[in-house]
């Protein structure tokens, strides 16, 4: 049976928990009515723009003109990334003055240290990107690592929590000890696009003794903004022997 459709015991337990404690919207905290609007309320759902075709067939940037086919965007034509393809589940505006439920929920997850959001957000991403994931044929999932200092502060790596849901649904192993963050970096959100590339250059390394040779890797992160982090991690993975790298994120900015 399709692993995505196979009912799991934990799904039934989730239903029981929902019955005992009625679900709240993960973005605005409002009450959710009915099962069809899982995770987000009827006010927040319509604001979520899911990434859909036509899009850049490398970085996955959606094009606003919905009439054309997928093609390379200008950035990917100018500079071919180290990854084969990237895809995100949903998108929100780059301008952080614009309030958006997807940004809100990502910020609650990361900066509000809401570890409980890992599962629902990971599921949304994994189930919403089925078409992309089934076309990748990856044999290993690698989350983007945090620097140990940041990991101690947050208490969890949000990318690993998201990656675990992909691993569970597609039965591909996830290994958080492939990549490490050797150098602490300034948060990318504070930097301009060209500064982001410099900021992450040389920040990642592979753990010694990791057998990556010939393996097809899915790199998982929470948000794709300039693609600098995804590209630098992919460069390190390819240099470490990976045959190819695909990138999956919960969100991307547009
Ligand atoms: Zn809401
Ligand atoms: Zn592109």
Distance CA 231, CA 203 (A): 12
Q: Which of 115-124, 129-138, 186-195, 226-235 has the lowest average pLDDT?
A: 186-195
- Is 95 in the same domain as 158? yes
Kindly state whether residues 10 and 88 are assigned to the same domain. no
Q: Which ligand is nearest to the CA of 24?
A: 1
User: Whose atoms come closest to the Cα of 62: which ligand?
Assistant: 2
The pLDDT confidence band at residue 5, using thresholds 50, 70 and 90, is very low
Lowest average pLDDT, out of 8-17, 61-70, 78-87, 179-188, goes to 8-17
CB 245 within 8 A of CB 59: no
For residue 86, the SS3 value is strand
CATH code for the domain in which residue 190 is found: 3.40.50.2020
DSSP 14-39: HHHHHHHS--B-TTT-PBP-SSTT-S
pLDDT tens digits along 18-52: 778 778 888 898 888 765 457 888 899 999 999 99
Distance (angstroms) between ligand 1 centre and the Cα of 46 equals: 10
What is the CA(110)–ligand 1 centre distance, in A? 18
Do 119 and 26 sit in the same domain of this protein? no
Place 105 in a pLDDT band, splitting at 50, 70 and 90.
very high
Cα-to-centroid distance, 59 and ligand 2 (Å): 4
pLDDT(3) > 50 = no
77 C-alpha vs ligand 2 centroid, how far in Å? 7
* pLDDT reported for residue 2: 47
Same domain, 123 and 215: yes
Q: Buried b / exposed e across 64-102, counting CB within 10 Å, b at 16+? A: eeeeeeeeebeebeeeebbbebbbbbbbbeeeeeeebbb
Domain that holds residue 218: 49-253
Q: What pLDDT score was predicted for residue 67? A: 84
pLDDT over 70 percentage in the chain: 94
What is the four-CA torsion angle of 134, 108, 192, 176, rounded to 10 degrees? -50
pLDDT at 132: 95
Q: Could you say which ligand is closest to the alpha carbon of residue 32?
A: 1
Tell me: do 38 and 74 sit in the same domain.
no
User: Which ligand is located closest to the Cα atom of residue 37?
Assistant: 1
Of all ligands present, the nearest one to the C-alpha of 104 is 1
Looking at residue 8, what is its pLDDT? 67
Higher local confidence (pLDDT), 11 or 217? 217
Distance 79 CA to ligand 2 centre (A): 9
Same domain, 26 and 137: no
Amino acid 36: pLDDT? 47
State in Å: Cα 30 to ligand 1 middle.
5
The model scores a pTM over 0.85: yes
Statement to judge: residues 34 and 96 lie in one domain: no
Residues contacting residue 91 through CB under 8 Å, at least 6 positions apart: 49, 50, 51, 62, 102, 251, 252, 253, 254
Q: What's residue 37's pLDDT?
A: 56
Q: Which residue has the higher pLDDT, 33 or 246?
A: 246
Same-domain status, 41 and 64:
no
Q: Do 196 and 245 share a structural domain?
A: yes
């Amino acid at each position: 049976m399709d692993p995505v459709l196979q009912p799991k015991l934990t799904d039934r337990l989730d239903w029981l928990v929902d019955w005992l404690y009625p679900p709240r919207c993960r973005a605005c905290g409002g009450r959710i009515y009915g099962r069809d609007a899982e995770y987000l309320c009827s006010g927040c759902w319509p604001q979520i723009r899911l990434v859909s075709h036509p899009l850049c067939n490398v970085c996955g940037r959606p094009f606003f003109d919905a009439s054309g086919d997928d093609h390379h965007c200008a950035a990917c034509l100018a500079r071919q990334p180290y990854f084969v393809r990237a895809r995100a589940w949903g998108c929100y505006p780059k301008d952080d003055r614009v309030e958006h439920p997807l940004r809100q929920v990502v910020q609650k997850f990361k900066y509000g240290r809401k570890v409980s959001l890992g599962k629902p957000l990971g599921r949304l991403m994994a189930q919403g990107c089925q078409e992309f994931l089934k076309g990748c044929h990856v044999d290993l999932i690698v989350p983007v690592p945090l620097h140990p200092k940041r990991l101690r502060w947050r208490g969890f790596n949000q990318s690993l929590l998201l990656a675990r849901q992909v691993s569970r649904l597609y039965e591909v192993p996830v290994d958080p000890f492939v990549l490490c963050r050797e150098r602490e970096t300034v948060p990318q959100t504070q930097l301009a696009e060209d500064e982001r590339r410099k900021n992450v250059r040389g920040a990642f390394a592979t753990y010694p003794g990791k057998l990556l040779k010939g393996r097809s890797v899915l790199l998982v992160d929470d948000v794709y903004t300039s693609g600098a982090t995804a590209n630098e991690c992919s460069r390190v993975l390819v240099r470490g022997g990976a045959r190819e790298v695909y990138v999956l994120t919960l969100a991307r900015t547009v």
